[in-house]
Amino acid sequence: MVRRTAGSRDAEFTEYAASRVGWLRKVAYLLCGDWDRADGLVQETITELYVKWPRAGRAENRDGYARTVLVNTFLAQQRTSWWRRPRRGGTAQAAATAWADVDATIDLRQALAALPPGQRAAVVLRHYCDLSIEQAADILGCSAGNLRSRSSRGLDALRGSSDDRPAEGSRA
């Protein structure tokens, strides 16, 4: 058995966290729809990972472990009134983000934000993180059938919101 010193553990954690913070931030944003809140979720996730690094560092799938911590942090916040704080104006980071089709991106963000937290998490895990039904169900702590149901309802709601949008070239 190889013993690692605290310094090498910290260096290993720092390297991992630095390489994954951008990816975690994107997933967090898709879950919550707000860049500032996404940054807070990532900060809490990184802190939790650091505390549990002796276990997380040995995990076969560190990214999966980090994603699970992020999703659980998001869902825990949804159960409290903390996240319902008033929103301020947009951030410079959100304004600086360039997208090819801004209208479609805004519509997708709004549609994702309108989904209940469980459905939003299911859709993000299945279709953004590209996880299998079993992997996503394991992260959310539910059965595969329940995950299918959440994902299906979420996708139906997203399709419904895109049907409400006027067709290109038509007058509203």
Least confident interval from 40-54, 57-71, 77-91, 123-137 = 77-91
Q: CA-CA distances (angstroms) from residue 40 to 43, 70, 146?
A: 5, 10, 28
Q: Which residue has the higher pLDDT, 102 or 72?
A: 72
Residues 135, 139, 142, 145, Cα dihedral to 10°: -30
- The span from the CA of 97 to the CA of 139, in Å, is 29
pLDDT per residue as tens digits for the range 53-79: 999 888 899 999 999 999 999 999 888
Give percent of the chain above pLDDT 90. Answer: 54
Report pLDDT for 57.
Answer: 85
Quickly name the fold that domain 1-97 has. Answer: Rna Polymerase Sigma Factor; Chain: A (1.10.1740)
10-47 pLDDT, tens digit per residue, is 899 999 999 999 999 999 999 998 899 999 999 999 99
Q: What are the boundaries of each domain within the chain?
A: 1-97, 101-165
Q: How far apart are CA 140 and CA 118, in angstroms?
A: 8
Q: Which residue has the higher pLDDT, 69 or 166?
A: 69
Q: Does domain 101-165 have CATH number 1.10.10.10?
A: yes
Question: What radius of gyration, in Å, describes the C-alpha atoms of the chain?
Answer: 18
* HSE value, Cβ hemisphere, 13 Å, CA-based, for 13: 21
